[in-house]
Structure 1
């Protein structure tokens, strides 16, 4: 876990979002909210994902459940792309043995 954090209240101001939206993302496991000394923070490492979720929610009108589904789907696509690259590498290795 990074020590670079953004205070939760500042995050709400910067991104101009409702706390219920971030709480929903947190409850779905999409964003982790860190509590330290009675203050809530969001890790800087999570801000890229948060920005994406904000665009999906406010610009594309996708609800939090839809965001969760999209995130899972994109994660699966990345995993499959990695697997394809590995299989291509193995195939080229075996072809070189022929």
Structure 2
């Protein structure tokens, strides 16, 4: 089983779409950071944009984990309504 198959098994299609959008956005931001460095832009501007790339990557990872956590919560806890994926993602981000 490839890693792509494992990720798809743990994350539903809607969450995967959101993850891919975030990764594409981060890819564009990173290309912008590289262009800024090549153009000799101010380090403050470069670091600000680099931090934005880092946050985008973190959020993509959190989305994958939150989606997988939702499946675990639904399977283990039958006494209350399962948390939504957005609620789980918010909860996980609070821990980061």
TM above 0.5, yes or no, is no
Instruction: Pick the structure with more strand per residue.
Output: 1
Which TM-score tier does this pair reach, normalised by the shorter chain?
0.3 to 0.5
The structure where helix makes up a greater share of residues is 2
TM-score (norm 1): 0.36
The TM-score normalised by the length of structure 2 is: 0.37
Larger radius of gyration: 1
